[in-house]
Amino acid sequence: MKKLKVATVWLDGCSGCHMSLLDMDAAVISLASKIELVYGPLVDAQDFPEGVDVTLVEGAVSSQDDLNKIQKIRQRTAILVSMGDCAVTGNVPAMRNGIPVQRLLQRVYVEGAIEGKGVPTDGVPALLKQARPVREFVKVDLCLPGCPPPAKTISGVIAAVLDGRKPDTNLTVKFG
């Protein structure tokens, strides 16, 4: 049987959703034989592959790099899932949205720094004006709010796709 190609992506988030994903305990063993993890912080692949079946996105779209990534991912993914509050609502990363970017960087990297004062420019992507939910940039097929969403909810989505079912959009969900 052809394995389901699954990717995970980590945009502007705390990685807690990835932790929750790993928290599925023994369920990971039965899933492992049926899915292939093709991209994400948990594997080595450098470039996002073509023809991915399911991509779980953690985090808000916060930088130019996030934006480029998510657009490419959308083109190469059949089912795009916003995993967790940051991807669904903006959540904590969006708390900076009322502050102009330059003011924010100044406060953190100059006024707030003890040594090495200065806004980093090399090797870091430029911040967008605001951190915003994934759905505001590309089409999202399913939203799993929660901070983080329970492991069962995440594995349930993968299990549904494996069974050829449409993931249940009326799951019991909770923000926060």
Q: Which is nearer to other proteins, 38 or 86 (CB)?
A: 86
The minimum distance between CB 160 and other proteins, in angstroms, equals 15
Neighbours of 102 (CB within 10 A): 10
- Kindly give, in sequence order, each residue whose CB lies less than 8 Å from that of residue 164, ignoring residues fewer than 6 positions away: none
61 in contact with other proteins (CB under 8 A): no
- Site size for other proteins (CB under 8 A): 30
Are 61 and 128 in contact by the 8 Å Cβ rule? The answer is yes
57 in contact with other proteins (CB under 8 A): no
φ/ψ (deg, to 5) at 173: -120, 155
Distance CA 78, CA 75 (A): 8
Q: Which is nearer to other proteins, 98 or 123 (CB)?
A: 98
- Kindly give, in sequence order, each residue whose CB lies less than 8 Å from that of residue 69, ignoring residues fewer than 6 positions away: 9, 11, 48
Distance CA 86, CA 91 (A): 5
- Among 99, 108, 113, 124, interactor with other proteins by CB under 8 A: 99
13 in contact with other proteins (CB under 8 A): no
CA-CA distances (angstroms) from residue 85 to 126, 135, 176?
23, 12, 7
Are 6 and 52 in contact by the 8 Å Cβ rule? The answer is yes
Q: Which is nearer to other proteins, 27 or 173 (CB)?
A: 173
- Among 40, 127, 132, 156, interactor with other proteins by CB under 8 A: 132
The minimum distance between CB 57 and other proteins, in angstroms, equals 13
Q: Which is nearer to other proteins, 48 or 146 (CB)?
A: 146
Site residues (CB under 8 A) for other proteins, limited to 75-94: 82, 85, 88-92, 94
The minimum distance between CB 173 and other proteins, in angstroms, equals 5
The minimum distance between CB 157 and other proteins, in angstroms, equals 12
Counting beta carbons within 10 angstroms of the beta carbon of residue 29, is it exposed (0 to 12), middle (13 to 18) or buried (19 or more)? exposed
Interface with other proteins by CB under 8 A: which residues?
82, 85, 88-92, 94-95, 97-99, 130, 132-133, 135-136, 140, 143-145, 147, 169-176
